Structure 1
Amino acid sequence: MALEHQLTAGICARLADVTNIEDDILDSHPTIQFLSFKKVAPTTAGATTVDRYRIIVSDGEHFLQAMLATQLNHLIEEERIKKHSIAVIEKFSCNLVQEKRLLIILALRLVSKEVPKIGNPTALQPPNAGAPTANTTPAPGAASSSTTPAPAAAPQQPPRQQGRAGRTAIYPIESLSPYQNNWTIKARVVQKSDIRTWSNQRGEGKLFSITLMDETGEIKATGFNQAVDELYDKIQEGKVYYISRARVNLAKKKFSNVQNEYELNLERNTEIEECTDVTNMPSIRYNFVELAKLTDLTKDSVCDVIGIVKEVTPLTELISKAGKTLQKRELTLVDRSGYAVRLTLWGKQAESFVGDDQPVVAVKAANVSDFGGRSLSMFTTSIMQANPDIPEAHALRGWYDAAGSAQTYQAYSNAGAGAGSFTQFDRAEILPLNEVKTRELGASDKVETFSARATVMHIKTDTIAYPACQTQGCSKKVLESHDGWRCEKCNKSWDKPNYRYIFPMACADYSGQAWLQGFNEVGEALFGMPANEIIEIRERNDIEFTKVVERAVGTAYNFACRARQETFNDMTRVRYTIQKIMPQNYGEEGKYLADLLRRSDWAKS
């Protein structure tokens, strides 16, 4: 065995020792080998959508169960670490779960991706297996517990890691649960709300909330009434605090967009102490989504975005249904994907925003809406940073100043594929086309959705595109008149139209054939060019136009479709509209099938 593949002998036994955890272990960087990975489905109790990975690690002598911190999930999903990979654990914590030590890996460095299995590691026996406890069977000859009751055992709590300045243990946010007591977390306040009040039949009150983050995750904390008076002024956004003696509850997802199945209830006796050691404390962790990929997200989902503020509307006021006056401001964000989207700010966020010099803004936890096709809005707990000091912002600024300021952007609208409805393609729910018809999807007044995989057999090209208005966000048909191409909606005339695809095509799978209606995004995916170009080709050379269309025929795609009953000229029929089209990705298809096989194997075991 080569020197670089030597594992840290005995580390699994030392970490698994529930009777003692040595301080020097917590600061060590052991070398281990991964034996297996298993995805743990998100819990339904907290409605969290974050996957977790249970892993088995080995030191060559024994193996130990561990969990991977969620921010490291991509290492498995991108296959950067695999079965039998060797890595150095650069940061970790140890928790006690069901009287067993659970290793939580927070940071690692890959040593070797693919090597043979080292040694013949075996399972560990609990070090205190022979010690009498409330849950163990007395040794032969010991007094019977029926005559002499044993003292009640204190509830076992996850161990605290000893702090460096005499401070007791610091728990990672990721490990908090309602079944723990006497914990302390060290976290940065990345968002602090205003104090809000309420009044209903049960009385009046006030509250505020904060979002806390450490290197393992984030959690929402809320204080009510007296806790507001005690704690609100002690907490400042951006600073790091030691927090303890708060109650851990199941998260109320209706009022929270923080990715954690639990949340904290701050009380009068909650202890909050500012921490000056901010080493390894993240400010804000983003998972950015390109603006062009907002179509992949469902209505009312939450996402992080980054973009250039291209336009800012003046501050306006409106009256809510409850009779309250609300301040509102809208930003238009653009990014390298070539799309523009509207972001709505409310309240103090709208009042305080300054959009001079077209800043870069990074938004965490924006709400996705289907208003206008795709749009975003800020929650009270959303976070927005202007010109943040992060690599993505610097790269975006450089691109925009060099080229992006001069280009035009595609605005979301209610017309065309993917607009209005958030239909998604689901491999697990693919329906044969014949079954779509026999089920009579869309035959009632209700709009129904389905996923299909089919091959394009024929495309009707008589009216492959229509002349549309050039105004961003407007896709209305324009008519040629004496002063050019006129849009009645915008009351404008243009020297030429902006063509947009609209066409039916016959698609087939093993079960049968169906006519699917395609719009602009579908045409661009099929033909690899905007509608303006294909119309120019058709007007210039019919043979070349026919070749372009023929190249699109005979290819299989994944479709997300909507079935809806329509009446035209007193005739009622069901129309199948393509909401999303995706080329076959054989890597993804293979991974999906492999996951199915693995889940089948786990179910059998």
Structure 2
Amino acid sequence: MDVLTGNAIQLMYDGSVLVAPCLQISAISNFGDGLEHGNRYRVDLSDGIHKQKASLPKKYNDDIDSKRLMIGSILQLTKYIFLNSHGSRRIVILDLEIICTTHATVVEPIFLCVKQEDVVVQTTPPLCDASTQPSTSTKYQGFGRQRSLFEVRKPQNVGSIPTTITPIKNLNPYQPNWSIKGRVLVNKDIYHYNTTKASGDVFSFDIVDREGIETHVTCFNELAKTHYDNIQVGVAYKLSGGAIKLANKIYNKLNNGLEITLVDDSKVTACNDDSSIPKHRYAFIALDQVATINNNSTIDVIGIVISVDLSSTICKRDGTKVPRRTIKLVDMTRTTIDVTLWGAMAKKEGTTFNTSLTIDPLIEELAQLKDWYSQNVHTEQGIFHQLVAPAPAPQRMTISEIQAHASNSEQPFYCILKATIQQIKSKSFFYQACPTQDHTDTIWEIVFDEGAIELMGMPAKTLYMLQSDDNAEQSTADVIKNVTYNQFLLNLTCRNETYNNEEWLKVAITNAKQLDFASENSILLEKIKEMFTDTSL
């Protein structure tokens, strides 16, 4: 068939990269379970002589189910990867165009046989994107539409470092070899982690290429120590090799779904400065607007330091000590805000986690800010006001409302619950847990420290003494009896947690007060008045 790209399978095996080849589906198979993970389809693609197995992304499942894609359909692969490593070959289709829904098969294709001594490990570039490839001047007619003839690019030597630069936006987890070039925007302090599974050192930095696309690079243990001493902010580097994986958004706030982890074979070399690679670009937020930003957002701010507190040390749960210092910033909105610095940043300019601190950056905004400050700091107009983010008042909720809100929220939230203590677990007063009940449902809650004292009427030490003293006038059972079946106003912290792949609602009492019936009746009367004035009821 003239429409098919002649000898395409053989050229792919030889390491050539074809731009938008046309192939025909000769077989379709479903390897999904059809249940939890849905259907997943593989196809055999034919160039009229040979055929090769290929995988389809899920977004084309509807086309197969609706028979838009079927045996005999002719496709143009606009974006694909040909995997060829140690004798394992497969086409991974990313995007395609349907040229013809059905077409007769001229000859039954066969799988291409390759001798073992001809097996090679594929190098770059594994990703072929027709939208990024230059077109040739030669056109041909096929099914009433024009397309460029494919281009053939010779493969690189096996095991060599790629000489071409891959744009960061084209990186994908299927690439065995790649090379990127970019400027380091942020390099973070080396950090020692200690978990139940492992411990070690981690170092990371952010890099941007000439197209302005950023990515996060991480390395561990010995590699972390090596690169921490060599990587410098503002310097251009060439990186090759490493594992490309999904970004961990807990530590990586960049607008990129992938990140790079360096391995022993990775190459990181400094390059001559390239003016086409952009330097750090800021999107500054005025200090008076910070209170309107959502929690856990990453923002850029610039300000003049007007006060610096003494450095203090905080002891973490694992026993390590971390320096901490608070500074106060002001900007041209005459708003001040407290900024807490941790770790090495508390002592000098630096970076930690998702925050970087630069002193006197060479940017235009700094010059404007300094001019404003020098003109206003010694005048009566130089009065500043402290930014205090208004804390949202916790809402009253019923237990059923708490459960519904938690199922739709990934963030912890605070609320007030009017409920009756139904039961208290009394095996150990060092960990209080009790179910509360209102008119909608029952829920278990835990309570510590001040909240437990307010609820029980005495500290845990006193309860322990009552529990161990057989001659005490009041027993722990009496204390529990006095608390149960009484109504309380409870301030709660609620959040969903996952344990053994099951979600459950964790509720902690932060404050407990006996119900004041007089004030509670006033609240109920106001609600009754609202019901009468609400025309929708």
Give the TM bin, normalised by the shorter chain: 0.3 to 0.5
Q: TM-score, normalised by structure 1?
A: 0.41
* TM-score (normalizing by structure 2): 0.46
**Structure of larger gyration radius:** 2
